[in-house]
Amino acid sequence: MKKNSKYYLLLLLPGLLIMVGTVFLPIIRTFIFSLQKFNLAEPNDRKFIGLKNYKDVILADDFRLALTNSLMVVVLVTIIALIASMFVALLLNKQTKITPALTAIAIIPWALPPLVNGMMWKFIFYPGYGFLNKILIRLALIDSPISFTNNIILLMLALSMAVAWRVVPFCSIVLLANMQNIPYTFYEAARIDGSSKIQEFIYITMPFLKPSLKIVLVNILMNAINIFDEVIAMVGYRLDSQTLLVNNYLHTFNYLDFGYGSAITYVIMIISGILGYAYIKQMGVE
């Protein structure tokens, strides 16, 4: 038995070394950088400054703007993605001849790289005669093109729709898998008692979906708070449209301030953890 245990540990060793080298070591080094004045533009002026980087991050106007934009995206993506995921899951839960084909089509947005996804939505929301503007003009709903990307509220809505489009496939598949494990006898008993479809959804489907809703909400939250590619694809590095990761990228790799950028990384991690915990507790998921 001991020989087998040593053999199993030996097999796990390569994976453990990869995890240590690519996950744990960078996390530790990033934290060390965040406590230092470390700018590659001034390599000889590297020193320990404690929590000063964290204080500077919290007080910085550009970080507050990025945080506001990110929180706006989080709220919008959560609302859009959760409703859309539930709708798609309910649609795919209906057993028809085309259900397998619809399931395959629903997964396509998930397979697209985020940058490609952002380029596609840039074409849709292009401020000139983009796809959406053309449709609205042909339907006589507007007289001139709307500058979606020049208005910060409309831009955050567009970015949220782009992120939601990407996360809905995974979320809907998770919900669908949970739905298909709900015993059908519960629905039969409810129908005998004269319940409506809405009552069945509220009192049978939703309680059974609580475990999968935890996974779905965390997935939506992580994708929303870490939005980067879609922002770059749609508007680039514009100051007023910066999100947390864009702000972090600019300070770390454009301004080469690794100490300040590392502090932003840890602040983002803390915010992500707090928001994730809050969403889960709000849903009452244990």
How many whole angstroms separate alpha carbon 28 and alpha carbon 246?
22
Q: What is the pLDDT of the chain when averaged over all its residues? A: 86
- 48 membership: H or E segment, kind and range: strand 47-48
Report the SS3 class of residue 39: strand
* Assigned token pair, 269: 């991690």
Q: What is the pLDDT of residues 9-40, one digit of tens each?
A: 788 888 888 988 888 898 899 999 999 999 88
How many whole angstroms separate alpha carbon 117 and alpha carbon 166?
7
Helix residue spans in the chain (DSSP H): 2-19, 25-34, 52-59, 61-92, 99-111, 114-124, 131-138, 152-179, 184-192, 197-200, 206-208, 210-225, 229-235, 244-249, 258-282
The answer to whether residue 43 scores a pLDDT higher than 90 is no
How many whole angstroms separate alpha carbon 123 and alpha carbon 120?
5
Q: What is the pLDDT of residues 101-154, one digit of tens each?
A: 777 777 888 888 888 888 999 999 988 778 888 898 888 888 888 888 888 999
Question: 283 and 210 in contact (C-beta within 8 Å)?
Answer: yes
Closest CA to 238 of 160, 159, 165, 167: 159
* Assigned token pair, 274: 């707090």
Q: What is the pLDDT, as a whole number, of residue 286?
A: 46
Percent of the chain scoring above 90 in pLDDT: 34
**Res. 204 pLDDT band, cuts 50 70 90:** confident
Q: What is the pLDDT of residues 187-203, one digit of tens each?
A: 888 888 888 888 888 88
What is the rounded average pLDDT of the residues 245-273? Answer: 90
What is the sign, positive or negative, of the torsion defined by CA atoms of 91, 96, 98, 101? positive
How many whole angstroms separate alpha carbon 243 and alpha carbon 69?
6
How many whole angstroms separate alpha carbon 258 and alpha carbon 30?
9
The answer to whether residue 206 scores a pLDDT higher than 90 is no
